[in-house]
Amino acid sequence: MPQTSDDSIPVPGRNEALPEGVSSAHILVVDDMPIMRKMIGMCLERGGFKNITFAEDGDVALQRIAETAPDLVILDINMPRLSGYDVCKKLRADPATASLPILVQSASETAEERVEVFAVGATDFVSKPINHPELLARVCMHLENRFLIRSLSDFQDRMHSELKMAREMQHSLLPEDHIISAVEDIGSASVEAFYKASFELGGDLWGTWPLPGNKLGIYVLDVTGHGVGAALNTFSLHATMARFEDKKLDPAEFLTSLNSSLVGSFALGRFATMFYGVLDCDTDELTYAGAGAPRPIIFGPAGSRALDSSGLPIAIVKSATYENLTDRLEPGESMFCYSDVLVEAEQPDGSILGEDGLVSWIEEAAESGDRTTVVKRLLDRFYADQDEHLPDDLTAVAIHRSKVTNNFDQDSSMPPKVVVISTDDSPLFDYYEGLQAPGLDVERTTLATHESGLQQAEFPNLSAVVIDGAAGYEAAQKKHAIIDPAFVDAGGPVVLVLNGEPDKADPILSFDRVKYFDGQKGVDALRRFLAEEADDFVRICKLKKALEDRAPEEALSLEGSYRFASRKEAQKFAMMFSQASSDPVPLAIGLSELFLNAIEHGCLEIGHDEKGQLIENGLLNEEVVRRRSSEKYRQRYATVNVEHTETSLVFRVEDPGKGFDYKAYLSSENGHDKKHGRGIAMANGCFSRLEYQGNGNIVEAEFELQ
Amino acid sequence: MEYRIEKNDSDTTVVFTGDITFSENVSFRQILKELAESDVDTCTFDLTNVGMVDSAGLGMFLIAKEQADTAGWKLSVSGAQGHVASMLKLTKLSDLLAG
């Protein structure tokens, strides 16, 4: 062990004491000769080093290094067993010690030996006999280099991880999945989005949101410049947008407000280009305003066109105003928004793609396959010739409106129409006035009026017919005269209101497909009953229509697990699976019932009474959208597992809900009268086997294939 | 990007060649420094031989415009075509830099 000594040796070239980091550096001295270890140790101590350890051969050295990595090794070359050369090689082969400074000391000093020392990876060389000041100078130099490099590389690591975090934070500004899916539901559309922040951080952002009145908003923006500054400006723009919730229906006003509050907060020469559009999904009208963003492209069966997004970028001129322009985004069309790097990046031939080039790429991509994956094909082509690390962010977003517009979540147009038929002098005429509700459009008519004028006029706009008991008898006789047979054939609900239970001997029972309602239960119960019947009927009509409009598809293998969270997805899967049957309608209806139950009752915990009330008030869709975007329900989804046997399809639907008392339901003869019964009764007719399991949150349904 | 400054009394023209993008930041600032040090009444950025300008490039024009307004000289751009012309039009900076 080294002894302490007072005679300190000055390190050549140094007037001051060693800095703390260097003097407390851990130095390992490896030598097989005790006298050499002692001498080198003393030299280092006198030079001011405080943390010195020793090893008597190569094996022990490697073991010590593995236990605690030193900051520097002083290594003898000629040792028995493991030589200094071998120790060097082993240390260099291990990534943990690949850059550890190794100072080799040796008595022989041929030119070949020096070369060999550096060849095995030594950092430096001192010859024996050891010149103490020289040893100290070299040790100091290598330790200082090491600390400098370490602090630089620590700094680099830190910057690296901070930039990574900034990129992740920028990503977190992008719209969340549940928002996108709410927008897709409103617009009967699919959103295809690609966003890649550049390595050096950039200022791109896009977003979308549902708006009241069956509208949706979508924007893309690009803050100039690169790096942290651009990213911070993007955050500030994003935060400012939240202040103008009330302006989101009016694109020009929205941009004007953003501009006037951001002028002055961006550095000189910095600005943001932006496009913001609002789509009215009932009228398909698109209102938009531009602040110099690349021109969005609308494409579809009628070809393509660019929207005029010209305008002063945000944050340049205080008094800038923006103008609303209008266009249309029809079902079957797509709107594509993108950031400028897509048209400005250098192509292999040195040219840039430009807008014209992009439009022809879009058209070619649209022709080469499914419209809803155009962005993917477009970007595959773009990246085929581009470095992964573009100098700027790349944003490419398309909203593809589906061709078939029917959509369960989008019934905002008209409430279901219910016609009440009674005799001219029915004492119940006033009673039916109570049927009027926001979710129902009730028309009262007398038999006389009906016979003369309204007959057969209503379907397909009719959703339910109510026949007052007294008049009902007569109506039954003349059923084809007063109720459109097409309505009856389509399964349209005809509700006969009686005073008490139906008398089975009554000839009126010959009118099949009539549903009876006991008028004594009161008009409120009748209204609920009608609202639910009408809602089911409208939905089934739409499902049938969608199946008719659906283009025939290649037979697919359906086996597997699928998950769904929106009514739209439920409809999509029901339609997709139904293609397995040669008569898809009953299967689609049955599945749609099971899937909707899983979403509404299971995922979203909408109670049965609650659902009836929502339908009555025309608020069911709104409530579904609201719950799906709430923190509590956002992550909940239902799954369906499909199994193909030789003769049948077996669907196992599972939801995260509490389930229900299906045993009570199944044991009761009057099951369909109970509150859970409606959907199940409908599904029951479609499947050969319907079996509830678990708490009733799992249902297995078997469909016989012909 | 390369540039050449041509002086004709107090009328100055900066002739640009190549692309004006973010990476030209440093040379652009050099131009502004040279303009600040010389006696300028009007200055024209000749963009005839510029193939591409990105949004950072447009930002540099705005910085030049600010410098011109502060120092009391006039700045205009001329000769823009193709991508450069459409960028100036899209962002309506063509109006702001009309001179």
> In this structure, what CATH number is given to the domain that contains residue A630?
3.30.565.10
Between residues A426 and A341, which one has the greater pLDDT? A341
My answer on whether A179 and A115 are in the same domain is no
What order do you get walking across the sheet with A689-693 strand by strand? A560-564, A638-644, A648-654, A698-704, A689-693
Provide, as residue numbers in chain B, all residues whose Cβ is less than 8 Å from the Cβ of A338. Answer: none
Token pair of A680 as six digits: 């199940």
Asked whether the bond before A129 is cis by omega within 30 degrees of 0, the reply is yes
Let me know if residue A407 belongs to a domain: no
A585 and A495 within one domain: no
- Whether the predicted pLDDT of A6 surpasses 70: no
Same domain, A390 and A337: yes
In tens, the pLDDT along A655-690 reads: 998 887 777 666 655 544 444 556 666 777 788 888
- A340 with B54: Cβ contact below 8 A: yes
* Mean local confidence (pLDDT), A511-515: 66
Same domain (yes/no): A192, A302: yes
Per CB-CB distance under 8 Å, the chain B contacts of A313 are 55, 58, 91
Confidence of residue A451 (pLDDT cuts 50, 70, 90): low
Convert the pLDDT of each residue in A162-197 to its tens digit: 888 888 888 899 999 889 988 998 888 999 999 988
- 3-class secondary-structure state, position A420: strand
In this predicted structure, the answer to whether residue A439 has a pLDDT above a threshold of 50 is yes
CATH code at position B32 = 3.30.750.24
Which is more confidently placed, A560 or B42? B42
Q: How far apart are CA A604 and CA A632, in angstroms?
A: 9
A26-30: strand order across its sheet? A51-55, A26-30, A72-76, A102-106, A124-127
What distance in Å separates the CA atoms of residue B30 and residue B64, rounded to the nearest whole number? 11
pLDDT band, residue A2 (cuts 50/70/90): very low
A310 to chain B nearest CA, in Å?
A: 4
Tens of pLDDT, residues A219-262: 999 998 777 888 889 999 999 999 999 999 999 999 999 999 99
Q: What is the mean pLDDT of chain A?
A: 83
- Is residue A303 predicted with pLDDT exceeding 90? no
* Residue after which a domain boundary falls, among A513, A537, A561: A537
A584 and A491, same domain (yes or no): no
Q: How far is A309 from chain B (nearest CA, A)?
A: 7
A387 vs chain B: nearest CA distance in angstroms? Answer: 17
A482 and A566 share a domain? no
Phi-psi region of A12 (alpha: psi -120 to 50; beta: other; left: phi over 0): beta
Interface residue A269 vs chain B (CB under 8 A): yes
Helices (H), A202-250: 227-242
| Chain A residues near residue B89 by CB distance under 8 angstroms | 310
8 Å CB contact between A335 and A301: no
The domain of A532 spans 417-537
CATH code: domain of residue A357: 3.60.40.10
Q: A698, A654 in Cβ contact below 8 A?
A: yes
Dist CA B77 CA A428 (whole Å): 82
> How many whole angstroms separate alpha carbon A678 and alpha carbon B52?
65
Identify whether residues A648 and A584 lie together within a single domain: yes
Q: Are A117 and A44 part of one and the same domain?
A: yes
* Cross-chain residue pair A340–B92, CB shorter than 8 Å: no
Residues 6+ apart with CB under 8 A from A648: A688, A702, A703, A704, A705
What amino acid occupies position B20?
I
Say what the pLDDT of residue A225 is. 78
Domain count, chain B: 1
Tell me the shortest Cα–Cα distance from B77 to chain A, in angstroms. 16
A310 to B62: CB separation less than 8 angstroms, yes or no: no
- Residue at a domain's end among A487, A513, A537: A537
- B53 → chain A, closest CA residue: A344
Check whether residue A290 and residue A434 sit in a common domain.
Answer: no
If asked whether residues A515 and A571 sit together in one domain, one would say no
Number of domains chain A is built from: 4
Cα torsion B69, B71, B76, B82: sign:
negative
Query: What does the pLDDT look like over B86-99, one tens digit per residue?
Result: 999 999 999 988 75
**Do residues A592 and A669 both lie within one domain?**
yes
Q: Between residues 277 and 336 of chain A, which touch chain B (CB distance below 8 Å)? A: 292, 294-295, 309-313, 316-317
Residue A426 has what pLDDT?
Answer: 65
Q: What is the pLDDT of residues A353-385, one digit of tens each?
A: 999 999 999 999 998 888 888 999 999 999 988
Domain around B70: 2-96
For position A202, what pLDDT does the model report? 79
CATH number, position A55: 3.40.50.2300
Token pair belonging to A522? 């009161």
Whether the CB-CB separation of B25 and A224 falls below 8 Å is answered with no
A351 and A259 in one domain? yes
Of B23, B59, B90, the CB nearest to A269: B59
Chain B residue numbers with beta carbons less than 8 Å from the beta carbon of A310 are 89-92
Residues 6+ apart with CB under 8 A from A599: A564, A565, A566, A567, A570, A624, A638, A655
